[in-house]
Structure 1
Amino acid sequence: MKGEKRKQLILDCAKKLFAKQGFYRTQISDIVREINIARGTVYQYFANKEEIFICLLEDAYSKWEKAIYDAVELINLKTITPVEYFRLRIKTTLDFLLADPDICEIVMSMGFGLPEGLEKATRKLEEKIRDIALNDFKLGLHNGYIRESINTLHAAEMIAAAVLRSAYYFQNNKKEEKQIDKITDEIVNLFAPGIFTADVLAALS
Structure 2
Amino acid sequence: MLDKDFTMPYRTPQKIQEMKDAKRQHILESAAKVFAEKGYYQTKVADILCQANISTGSFYFYFNNKEELFENLYDEMIQTYISVLQEAIDTMTGNADSIVESITKAITLSLQTFQTKKELARIMLISSVGLSAEFEKKRTADHQRISLAFEEIFRGLLQKNVIKIPNAKVAAVLFTGSIYSLITHWLQESTAVDLVQFSTPLIVYNLQALGIQCHGPDFNAIYTASEITKTNHFHKESI
Which TM-score tier does this pair reach, normalised by the shorter chain?
Answer: 0.7 to 0.9
Gaps of 5+ in 2: 1-17, 214-233
Aligned partner (choices 196, 201, 208) of residue 186 of structure 1:
201
TM-score (norm 1): 0.79
Contact 1:17 1:26 in 2 (8 A): yes
Contact 1:134 1:156 in 2 (8 A): yes
- Taking a change above 3 Å as real, the CA distance of residues 126 and 91 of structure 1, as seen in their structure-2 partners, is farther
- Counterparts of residues 1-205 of structure 1 (less than 5 Å): 2-71=19-88, 75=91, 77=93, 80-149=97-166, 151-171=167-187, 173=189, 175=191, 177-178=193-194, 180=196, 182-196=197-211, 202-203=235-236
Letter in 1 for 2:42: R
- Identity across the alignment (%): 21
Structure with the higher helix share, 1 or 2: 1
Cα separation, 2, equivalents of 1:107 and 1:152: 29
- Taking a change above 3 Å as real, the CA distance of residues 106 and 27 of structure 1, as seen in their structure-2 partners, is same
Letter in 1 for 2:132: P
Secondary structure of 1:2's partner?
A: helix
> 1:72 deviation in Å?
5.2
Q: Which has the larger radius of gyration?
A: 2
> 1:142 deviation in Å?
1.9
Paired residues, number:
200
- Taking a change above 3 Å as real, the CA distance of residues 20 and 179 of structure 1, as seen in their structure-2 partners, is closer
Cα separation, 1, equivalents of 2:138 and 2:27: 19
Cα separation, 1, equivalents of 2:115 and 2:142: 14
Gaps of 5+ in 1: none
Letter in 1 for 2:176: A
- Taking a change above 3 Å as real, the CA distance of residues 134 and 20 of structure 1, as seen in their structure-2 partners, is farther
* Greater Cα offset, 27-36 or 186-195: 186-195
Aligned-residue CA RMSD (Å): 3.0
Contact 2:88 2:103 in 1 (8 A): no
